[in-house]
Amino acid sequence: QRHLISAADLTRDDAVLILDTAEEMARVADRPIKKLPTLRGRTVVNLFFEDSTRTRISFEAAEKRLSADVINFTAKGSSVSKGESLKDTAQTLEAMGVDAVVIRHSASGAPYRLATSGWIDAAVVNAGDGTHQHPTQALLDAFTMRRRLVGRDAGLGKDLDGRRITLVGDILHSRVARSNVDLLHTLGAEVTLVAPPTLLPVGVETWPCEVSYDLDSTLSKSDAVMLLRVQRERMNAAFFPTEREYSRRYGLDGDRMAKMPGHAIVMHPGPMVRGMEITAEVADSDRCTVVEQVTNGVSIRMAVLYLLLGGNEPAVAHARPTEE
Ligand code: CP
């Protein structure tokens, strides 16, 4: 594939190749020199029209570890504020010689448009578009689940088959939920979505997962519980349950975590709203993988960029660390 737009575009073989390549990339982080020469001479632009902490910095770290030249663009402070379009912005950046564009945009479909419009020749990686998709987040989540629930030597045929994953919270506005449902289904996991009725999208019954309004009844049957932030910035206040009501029914606290099986993990893509969807006790417990997910994100993004730009050679086995 030339682009990564949606987790739904990945076959099981594609997904496992990325996860396995990310395991190789993770080994680079354990070396004294944390850099590979793989993308030397290639230029990647990080084109962020929406705020980000983890994804933006993680892509930048991944690109630098692969020795790519990195251009960071944020819409704030750019000529976007003067009315410049996505097309003109992208073509302006490509005119400076860009091999890949990592894009985050508030409009669902913006990365797809960039990849298929013919405006630019560069590879396009979706870093989150509106309420649509966030494929590298789903990949880093699957990588984290695989490591914690299956083991590092997981391979084709023994990935996340039969693992029971529960996603809790604002499914309606969540690109993370959509991407995870697609990818986890492809990898053989059984997904349950838990949310108040007002935070579930129309048509959710056609998604490849179960749906419940009752968190307490799903906890003892979950290998991983992933909490999602309530995205107030995307919502009409009239549909929003009060913070107290939400927390009482859907927040994960120590008592609820105790109902989960002993091996089960708590996940969150970040940013977390402590006290609402997750208590500090749970967020800071060793069952919570939120920081580990961030670390794994660098390996996943290295793997994605390597596979899109770096050719077909094995990623690490044949590549010596750079001397820089
Ligand atoms: N998980 C995630 O996408 O976080 P950021 O918005 O900080 O990138």
Per DSSP, which regions of 111-179 are E strands? 123-129, 164-168
Please report whether residue 315 resides in a domain: no
Q: Given the DSSP bridges, would you call strands 164-168 and 224-227 parallel, antiparallel or unpaired?
A: parallel
pLDDT at 76: 87
Q: Do 168 and 252 belong to one domain? A: yes
Is the domain of 36 the same as that of 82?
yes
- Ligand 1 geometric centre to CA of 58 (Å): 10
- pLDDT tens for each residue of 175-233: 999 999 999 999 999 999 999 998 999 999 999 999 999 999 999 999 999 999 988 77
* Tens digits of residue pLDDT in 90-131: 899 889 899 999 999 999 999 999 999 999 999 999 999 999
Residue at 101 is within a domain = yes
Amino acid at 75: A
Q: How many CB atoms lie within 10 A of CB 85?
A: 10
Question: Does the beta carbon of 54 lie inside 6 Å of ligand 1?
Answer: yes
Q: Is the pLDDT of residue 324 over 80?
A: no
Number of structural domains found in the chain: 2
**269 Cβ below 6 A of ligand 1:** yes
Confidence tier at 77 by pLDDT (50, 70, 90):
confident
155 annotated among ligand-binding-site residues: no
Q: CATH no. for residue 194?
A: 3.40.50.1370
Predicted TM-score (pTM) of the model is 0.93
Domain that holds residue 212: 135-292
Do 150 and 253 belong to one domain?
yes
33 pLDDT more than 50: yes
Q: Are residues 147 and 266 in the same domain?
A: yes
Candidate from 10-19, 30-39, 219-228, 237-246 with smallest mean pLDDT: 237-246
229 labelled binding-site residue: yes
Does some domain include residue 186? yes
145 and 245 share one domain: yes
| Stretch 21-50: mean pLDDT | 92
Q: Write the pLDDT tens digit of every residue in 121-164.
A: 999 999 999 999 999 999 999 999 999 998 765 554 567 999 99
* Residue 137 Cβ < 6 Å to ligand 1: yes
Residue 244 has what pLDDT? 86
Q: How far is the CA of 39 from the centre of ligand 1 (A)?
A: 24
The rounded Å distance from CA 105 to ligand 1 centre is 12
Atom of ligand 1 nearest to the CA of 104: 8
120, two tokens: 């630019």
Q: Is residue 323 domain-resident?
A: no
What's the pLDDT score for residue 321?
46
Residue 170 predicted with pLDDT over 50:
yes
Average pLDDT, the chain: 91
For residue 1, being part of any structural domain is answered with no
Residue 147 lies in a domain: yes
- Do both 62 and 152 map to the same domain? no
% the chain with pLDDT above 90: 79
Alpha carbon of 305 to ligand 1 centroid (Å): 18
Residue 231, annotated ligand binder? no
Q: How far is it, in rounded angstroms, from Cα 31 to Cα 38?
A: 16
Based on the fold, state whether residues 160 and 227 are members of the same structural domain: yes
Distance 271 CA to ligand 1 centre (A): 6
Q: Are residues 90 and 155 in the same domain?
A: no
Is 183 a domain residue? yes
Check whether residue 54 and residue 186 sit in a common domain. no
Q: What pLDDT does 238 receive?
A: 60
Nearest residue by C-alpha to atom 6 in ligand 1: 52
* CA of residue 63 to ligand 1 center, whole Å: 17
Task: Decide whether any atom of ligand 1 lies within 6 Å of the 297 Cβ.
Answer: no
Look at 244-253, 254-263, 311-320 and tell me which has the smallest mean pLDDT: 311-320
Q: Looking at the structure, do residues 70 and 196 belong to the same domain, yes or no?
A: no
Distance CA 146, CA 223 (A): 11
CA-CA distances (angstroms) from residue 80 to 73, 77, 255?
Answer: 11, 8, 48
Q: How large a percentage of the chain has pLDDT more than 70?
A: 92
- Check pocket membership of 52 for ligand 1, CB cut-off 6 A: yes
Contact partners, residue 172, CB within 8 Å, separation at least 6: 131, 195, 198, 199, 200, 201, 235
In a domain, 215, yes or no: yes
